[in-house]
Amino acid sequence: MTPTTATRYPGGLFRAGLAVALAVTLASCGGPGGDKSGLRNADARISSQVNVTAARLAGDWYIRAGWPGTPDLSGPLRLAKGGETLTLTGTASDGPVRATLTSMGQGRFRADNTQAFGDNPLWVLWMDADDRTAAIGTPDGRFGWIMDRAPSGGADRITAAKEIMEWMGYDLSLSKETSQ
């Protein structure tokens, strides 16, 4: 470094060293794409199905497959439409579940800070054209499940939903079929 540079940028070496140290520290934290220990590979692309609305999701559903960490929902799961929000009610192994899902548009919803879902975005990763089967997940891979309008049947749609989940980075070996 020349004396001119040193006087024109006082503390330049210190700031550069601080920036490098900060970059190394942040890189060691994992950052986006670094964690492969969750339900999904963070390096995999993920997207929501933009034409899914609260109206399309409204009604009764059954969880057909789920990943660890996802609330253990069983029986019918009801999604009641109220404007652009959905009220999710159901039963989990530890009791009743209730959450308000606010539409963020483009097949994306945000759970209202509930015990079951926290304050997480829930994306509809895929939904068949007849609104019978849907794959739900989160960009960070914290949750993931496949739901269907019927407690059994529709194996072709369940398989399609699993393939979509796998393509979006979800580890199928961690998924568990549910019996309704």
Write the pLDDT tens digit of every residue in 21-38.
Answer: 333 222 223 333 334 447
| Tens-place pLDDT, residues 110-167 | 998 777 788 889 999 999 999 999 999 999 888 899 999 999 999 999 999 999 999 9
Q: Which two tokens stand for residue 160?
A: 């399609």
Q: What is the mean pLDDT of the chain?
A: 79
Angstrom CA distances, 116 to 14, 18, 91, stand at: 46, 41, 11
Q: Provide the terminal-to-terminal Cα distance of the chain, rounded to the nearest Å.
A: 71
Which residues touch 96 (CB under 8 Å, ≥6 apart)?
A: 89, 90
Find tokens 């700031």 and name the residue: 15
Find tokens 């849907």 and name the residue: 134
Q: Rounded to an integer, what distance in angstroms lies between the CA atom of residue 146 and that of residue 97? A: 17
Give me the helices (H) in 54-154, please: 54-57
| Tens-place pLDDT, residues 60-85 | 999 999 888 777 777 788 999 988 89
The reply to whether the predicted model has a pTM over 0.95 is no
pLDDT exceeding 90 applies to what percent of the chain? Answer: 49
Give me the helices (H) in 29-136, please: 54-57
For position 31, what pLDDT does the model report? 33
**Is 22 strand, coil or helix?**
helix
User: Cβ(14)–Cβ(22) under 8 Å?
Assistant: no
C-alpha angle with apex 13: 9 to 14, nearest 5 degrees?
A: 105
User: Cβ(69)–Cβ(50) under 8 Å?
Assistant: no
Q: Which two tokens stand for residue 147?
A: 């739901």
Find tokens 């339900």 and name the residue: 39
In this prediction, residues 167-179 reach a mean pLDDT of 86
Is a pLDDT exceeding 60 seen at residue 8? Answer: no
In this prediction, residues 91-98 reach a mean pLDDT of 84
User: Cβ(160)–Cβ(126) under 8 Å?
Assistant: yes
